[in-house]
Chain A
Amino acid sequence: MDDPNLVARTDVSAPPQRESQKEPQGERVWPAGRLEAMPIRKLPDAPPSIHLLGPTVFLVALGVGMGEAYMWPRLVLLFGPDIRWLFLIGVTLQAVVMLEMARYAMATGESIFFGAARVFKPIMWFFFIVAMAVYIWPGHLSAGAAALERITGIPWTVSACVGLILVGVLFSLAKVIYNLLENLLSILIGLLVVSTAIVAAMVGTWQDLVSTVTGMFQFGYLPADALSATWFPVIVGSIAFAGPSGMQQMWYTLHLRDSGAGMGAHIPKVRGLRHAGKEEQMPSRGFMFDTSDPAEMAKWKGWRRWVTFDALLLFWGITMLVTVSFTVLAQAANRESPNVKALIEAGEREAALNGMSDAFASAGGPVLGAVFLGFIALIGLNATLGLFDSFSRGQADMAYHFVPGAKRFRMSHLYAGFLWGVITFGIIILLWGPADGPGAILDVLAFLSTFAMGAYCVVLLLVNNRMLPKPIRPKLVTNIIIGLGAVFYLGMLFYSLVRFGVVVD
């Protein structure tokens, strides 16, 4: 089979003009906000819209996590499949957010953080601080490593610490980190999808699937228990975890740029520490294409088709597939072993995951129990790889452009600094501290993570409607959806806080 994207990548890997080349006197620029104006450059040709390989793999790796494997199957067992209409809304909203994140990144080659700084610098610093507060804790490693411990017997702190060091070494040795990670995650996600389909095919039934799928269209269904102080915060957390959560969508703009999508082709790629010396000079801002040129606008439409395919089939489709499959598995386990519901209802996450594994084992033999734990370990590995890269990429981007004096370093050096910083901190905390963060601030971290999602919807509205030229701004319908997204996330978060005094769970 052809890899149409390969051709396009070859094209965009050699952009027509780089920052190091001299800019002609009096060149045209696009002024956006109070920061440096963007010079006009050529937009590369778009790849064919039908493709499989691309930056969406990062979003899928980050997004298909505990929400899909654990939180939503859990809610289905507790409230029935009809509760899944909330998941449909959550993931569909995330697909629109993804398209809007891509709009700014592909049009400018800048991250959404840079876009936020163009609107108002403190907004960007808010995200810088939230990332530091929320994502330095290694708690996300615990579920996957604990599942690995159940399969192999290796203590989870050992595998987590070894995994952290391996990730650091791997990223430091890589020539171009994006290429290495895209290859690795593509294989891992491919295995996850294929294996999920195989297992779902072997243990699920037509009735499970029908009830799971039709449950997604029972709009408005909310049982009385769901609105209790115990369960409403859990539902809010589950909606926030439907697809990518926290700042993951914002980091996607950096992966899009490094993949060479749109005007990202004019920005050098981040290299591993060992090859940092080969990195080209990073420009101090992004670029804009000539939106008054019909030929350029035709190319832009091609890029929008390309990312729309990513959002609908790869992101939406795979997220739905994995969560539907896990829900089918949970229903099969519950049918065979009714005590699974009590286990899941009562347990905290690790206990409930083990309970689900035991239930699967009793429903479909020990194979199914191990398969479930294997999936959890695989999901944990994907998320860890994606998260460490994304965190370091985002912080390095903001630091490079906005911390005075940071431009003395290369972007790759800053990336390595944040990467090894978070790894060292992670190992210290895994060995001697609370993995999820100090108990006293857990609520604050959960609040910030969900708040960031409402906040980036507002940022998207501001950035895409004020910083981009009119011909490529979002349409009214898109703005309404993103606006509703902000109301959805922030509204539920504050309702939960005011009504029940609990943030999210």
Chain B
Amino acid sequence: MEIREAIPGAVVGLAAGVVAGGLAALVGQPLSWALVTMLALGVPLALLGGGLGVLIASGRLPRGRFAPVALFWLAGFPLARLVHEISVSLVLTGQVRLPSDLAGFLAYQGLVSMGWAIGFLWLHERIALRMRTAGATSGAATSR
């Protein structure tokens, strides 16, 4: 199984973290706050996104289908957001704090995950397509 399969998903996950952290820095938030936001959200999403790519490449999830990706993120996205919330509270306040209405929080994140899944898959396809095209081009050049 190639680790390359994990790259597009990991890139999209990290990009989401960079968007959140980068905007925080842009509007003058402390760098530490921006960095925590970027890592606490970007790393879980990148790990899950990369894992999804590997699962599909290994045949454990069907290729080219939206439903398995949506179901994966239905569980994964709320988990990543929970990690994000806990990490931010831990770094900024030194205490582990769960969201006040945990069930409501997870249910809401689960619903938002549908939108995330569409955007994730959309960007993932683009990056994967570029990687395949680049791979095919370099492969053809090598075989000459």
Contacts and interface: CB of A to CB of B under 8 A. Distances in A.
Given A198-B19, A200-B112, A206 B104 contact: yes
B114 interface: yes
18 contacts: A3-B64, A48-B64, A151-B26, A186-B126, A187-B126, A191-B15, A191-B19, A194-B119, A194-B120, A201-B109, A205-B104, A205-B108, A206-B104, A317-B118, A321-B114, A365-B29, A367-B24, A367-B29
Interface in B109-137: 109, 111-116, 118-126, 128-129, 132
Interface string A304-327: 000000000110011001001100
Contact of B107 (A1, A198, A206): A206
A194 B126 contact: no
Interface in A190-220: 190-202, 204-207, 209
B46 to A, nearest CB: 13
Contacts of A198: 16, 19-20, 41, 116
Interface string B54-81: 0010000001111000000000010001
B78 to A, nearest CB: 9
Nearest to A151: B26
B115 A325 contact: yes
Interface stretch (A368-376, A381-389, A412-420, A431-439): A368-376
Classify the interface of chain A: helix, strand, loop or mixed. Answer: helix
Nearest to B9: A1
A368 to B, nearest CB: 9
Contact of B126 (A4, A53, A209, A370): A53
Contacts of A2: 63-64
A192 B120 CA distance: 11
A52 B125 contact: yes
Interface residues of B, number: 45
Interface string B76-94: 0100010000000000000
Interface of A: 1-4, 6, 48, 50-53, 151, 183, 186-187, 189-202, 204-207, 209, 313-314, 317-318, 321, 324-325, 365-367, 369-371, 374
B56 A189 contact: no
A97 to B, nearest CB: 21
B118 A366 contact: no
A504 B121 CA distance: 37
A52 B20 contact: no
What are the 8 tightest A-B residue pairs by CB atom distance, in nearest-first order? A193-B119, A194-B119, A190-B123, A197-B116, A197-B115, A321-B115, A366-B27, A206-B104
